[in-house]
A and B are shown apart, each in its own frame.
Chain A
């Protein structure tokens, strides 16, 4: 690596980019549009009814189903059935973006019929008072109705509510959306442009020109990586700013984010170059780029948390490099899980190095 050559090439990349208004628009305005659009669709400011995650441990007994039907009829809450049996329910709710949740315990039906007191477990987050209040009044109303229905004047109430807390922090959809959409731009912005650059520079003979200079392929690729790292820093800043300003997102921004904003573009610039190298024409390059990009765009946790995917789809997400970029940023920005973030970072860097080496090896400026 020669510093002057790298700096000279970097200057050309920056100038070419800054003089292209369309490209500039897409890299700076597009992130804001993405956040605004998806934030609005997924309802960053609270939906009309409160989302209530329900786990029924009484194996869908008639009594438990009647209880949920009554709860649904209140129209105060929107019920989503979940199965977090292997995890701590409160943490799992937090990790999946729920602020309220309900567990119907095993033996609900038999206890209710035998008039043995039994409590449903209501999880709320005290920091989100409005959701908590709605959930408490809805569940409380149904519990009262069930007690009245079964009551004899002398008996004590059969059903009760145990209150629990949802994980330490409120996660709204917008909070997930920010790391996801940063990941989305880390993927798409270099991929679409690099496959095109790789194929069209070869067609136009620009690689030929460069092959006649002392510029090396590694230097050429590195200056592109540096540019996309810079662009990612800027667009991530814009997206976090827009998320906080428009939807009051709760994300932690700290130095732990920086390695991902470096490793992500490093990986996808290299992958884009590799894809463009394999292609013979700009048209087939675009096709190959799309084949690689689109599955990753939707299945890596960009718009929806991977944990919400059906079970059969989850293993697919785990082989996509972008999953580890986004998961790592989730760990840093939402869950403060350093160990898992470091694991993700190691995976991303390893894949990036392999793609970089392959791109430098297989991309040729000259013909045999």
Chain B
């Protein structure tokens, strides 16, 4: 599969600050790529460099084979962008906005069709300044599609939206992917990335600290599956001594990491023979969010080194 976006050794420095410190990643054509990171991690800077809105300090960046900074004029005809916090002319309606973009791009979009795709057809003739936050974001999404883009950049498209509006945007992203477009998504909703993205990269302090499919990242960086038993702390001591596992007590819960399936049976047998009263048990897996919080936390503590991600 050919690559829609290729980034090699990208660096962006501001006086006294390295916003992006030598990152590499690629995004396959037709896939959804989620770029995750806490605020100030370098997400928006990277995204703006890919869109040709910012110049990189060094490194090689190609979007659809073009250099976004020097070939931006050509690139912009092939990409669609909704910036974080999309703003538009206050007195202009979504329908007029789409006609305007059609005139600028030299295309003839059907405003009703585009607005139906983003579930905004009922607000087609309402002025921008009367739209809600979610409706404005949908208008931005519709505008970004007027030129039938090959790559869509969505910078935190659902931030501040209610759950209903958020799901509507997710639906659009799924449709974009189904139509064969590449989607570059930044978000700090981990659940969004896990649901939508084929591949994910986590950036912090300008470095990529994990990359891959969501399950790869969880497998590589997450803790093993755990058995959680509701029981007094004495059970933890008993299990450590008798079952050869590293059990730990938290409040009224004992947590046992499971190396293999067999571990679970051995632990439960030990629980039964211990005679210590217990209420019930569950198993737990790390989510992408758990991994994210742990990785970012470790990096901020200085206990994690960045890795190259490909």
Contact = CB atoms under 8 A, between A and B. Distances in A.
Interface of A: 2, 4-5, 7-9, 11-12, 15-16, 19-20, 204-206, 208-209, 211-215, 366-368
A196 B77 CA distance: 29
Interface string B23-38: 0000000000000000
Interface string B95-128: 0100111111110000000000000000000010
Contact of B89 (A5, A7, A16, A212): A16
A3 to B, nearest CB: 10
B72, B76, B104 interface centre (most CB from chain A within 10 Å): B104
Contact of B92 (A15, A212, A213, A214): A15
A145 to B, nearest CB: 71
Given A8-B104, A214-B106, A19 B87 contact: no
Nearest to B81: A212
Given A366-B52, A366-B53, A367-B54, A11 B100 contact: yes
B55 interface: yes
A209 B81 CA distance: 8
Contacts of A7: 103
A16 B92 contact: yes
B85 A366 contact: no
B150 interface: no
B76 A15 contact: no
Contacts of A2: 106
B90 interface: yes
Nearest to B96: A15
Interface residues of B, number: 31
A217 to B, nearest CB: 12
A19, A208, A212, A214 interface centre (most CB from chain B within 10 Å): A212
Given A212-B76, A214-B73, A206 B103 contact: no
Given A214-B106, A366-B52, 4 more contacts: A16-B91, A205-B87, A206-B88, A209-B83
A11 B102 CA distance: 13
Interface string B227-257: 0000000000000000000000000000000
A5 B73 CA distance: 15
B156 interface: no
B246 to A, nearest CB: 51
A205 B83 contact: yes
Contacts of B90: 16
Nearest to B82: A209
B104 A19 contact: no
B83 A208 contact: yes
A368 B88 contact: no
A4 B89 CA distance: 19
B103 A5 contact: yes
A206 B85 CA distance: 11
A5 B104 contact: yes
B44 to A, nearest CB: 12
Nearest to B140: A209
23 contacts: A4-B106, A5-B103, A5-B106, A8-B100, A9-B104, A11-B96, A11-B100, A12-B100, A16-B89, A16-B90, A19-B127, A205-B85, A206-B89, A209-B88, A211-B76, A212-B51, A212-B52, A213-B76, A214-B77, A214-B105, A366-B53, A366-B54, A367-B53
A266 B104 CA distance: 23
Nearest to B99: A8
Given A205-B83, A208-B83, A366-B54, A19 B91 contact: yes
Contact of A4 (B51, B76, B86, B103): B103
A212 B77 CA distance: 8
A12 B92 contact: yes
Contacts of A209: 83, 86-88, 143
Contacts of B101: 213
Contacts of A213: 76, 101, 104-105
Contacts of A214: 73, 76-77, 104-106
A215 B104 contact: yes
Contact of B53 (A4, A206, A211): A211
A19 B90 CA distance: 10
Contacts of B103: 4-5, 7-9, 11
A208 B54 CA distance: 11
Nearest to B53: A366
A2 B51 CA distance: 23
A366 B143 CA distance: 19
A109 B101 CA distance: 81
A213 to B, nearest CB: 4
Contacts of A366: 52-54
A366 B53 CA distance: 5
Q: Which 3 pairs across A and B sit closest by C-beta, in order of nearness? A: A8-B103, A19-B91, A213-B104
B189 to A, nearest CB: 22
B141 to A, nearest CB: 13
Contacts of A15: 91-92, 96
A16 B83 CA distance: 22
Nearest to B74: A214
Nearest to A213: B104
Contacts of B83: 205, 208-209
A184 B52 CA distance: 41
Contacts of B89: 12, 16, 206
A215 B100 CA distance: 11
A9 B100 contact: yes
Contacts of A4: 103, 106
A213 B107 CA distance: 12
A368 B105 contact: no
